[in-house]
Amino acid sequence: MKQRLLVMNGQKLVQDENAAGKWETVNVEKAGTLKPAIYNIHQSRQADKTAAHSGVIIHANKESVYQQIGREFVQHNRADFDKVPEIGSAKTITYSEETGRAKVDTPAQTQSRGVKR
């Protein structure tokens, strides 16, 4: 089943595709700090447990946690988390080699060059 998120006017709508091009809203909740956009989470790929994934957490349901990394989406198994990260927060997710459990960290700040006079 295809699923997408629509974020607009402070609301996050979870939609399922019933027929080709026919989307039905199944859940509405507050968007929090998510930016307004259409998030096609049905195009997500399964998380690689040997790599670190840094990006914004955009959605969590009973089975999965979705993270946006650039223009792509990564799907993590919800059972791998002790506590699901806050929606809209930027996080780095890595996996323990021994247990396979997800470890959630806040990404390090990077220095950028500003305008100097």
H or E segment to which residue 27 belongs: strand 22-30
Q: What is the dihedral of CA 31, 36, 42, 44, to 10 degrees?
A: -90
Reported pTM: 0.85
Mean pLDDT rounded to a whole number for the chain: 89
pLDDT tens figures, 45-94: 999 999 999 999 999 989 999 999 999 999 999 999 999 999 999 999 99
Is pLDDT at 9 greater than 60 in this prediction? yes
- Domains, the chain, in order of start with CATH, read 3-105 (2.40.50.140)
